[in-house]
Amino acid sequence: MPTAQDVMTTDVVMIEGDATVLAAMQKMRDEDVRCLVVNRRDASDAYGMITQRDICYKVLAKGEDPAKHNVHEIMSKPLVVVNKDLDVKYVARLMANMGLSRAPVIFEGGVQGIVSLSDVIDAHLNG
């Protein structure tokens, strides 16, 4: 069975926590992604994540101006991350147990990829 590293998407799009939600929306559109990983402020900090769902539910549905909110206000942090060597069946179990749609894969000192539900399904269909 493949591992998280075998199936992860390696094009990880990052953003700073002090960026506006509007900037995050524009970056998601420009990069054609559904989430952005939020950079750590320093080596002792945790990574965060902002998703389309966060933006819609926490800003737009409330009638708030995304230009007046920063990413760090609505992001999820700390994140559940997966080990690069974790078998995909355990990645699927972790995602199911935690209610996740995606999880970053961190090694070599940083985020190297993201495993999504689609990646897990594709691994099952192709494996």
**Predicted pLDDT at 1:** 81
Q: What is the pLDDT of residue 103?
A: 96
- What is the per-residue pLDDT for 124? 87
Cβ neighbors of 46 (< 8 A, separation 6 or more) are 40, 77, 78, 79
The dihedral through the CA atoms of 44, 13, 80, 125 has a sign that is: negative
pLDDT at res. 127: 67
Which pLDDT value is given to residue 80? 94
* pLDDT per residue as tens, the chain (127 positions): 899 999 999 999 999 999 999 999 999 999 999 999 999 999 899 999 999 999 999 999 999 999 999 999 999 999 999 999 999 999 999 999 999 999 999 999 899 999 999 999 999 898 6
User: Residue 90's domain is classified under what CATH number?
Assistant: 3.10.580.10
Residue 87: predicted pLDDT: 96
Q: d(Cα 79, Cα 104) in Å, to the nearest integer?
A: 8
Q: How many structural domains compose the chain?
A: 1
Residue 107 sits in which domain range?
4-126
Residue 117 burial (CB < 10 Å; 0-12/13-18/19+)?
Answer: middle
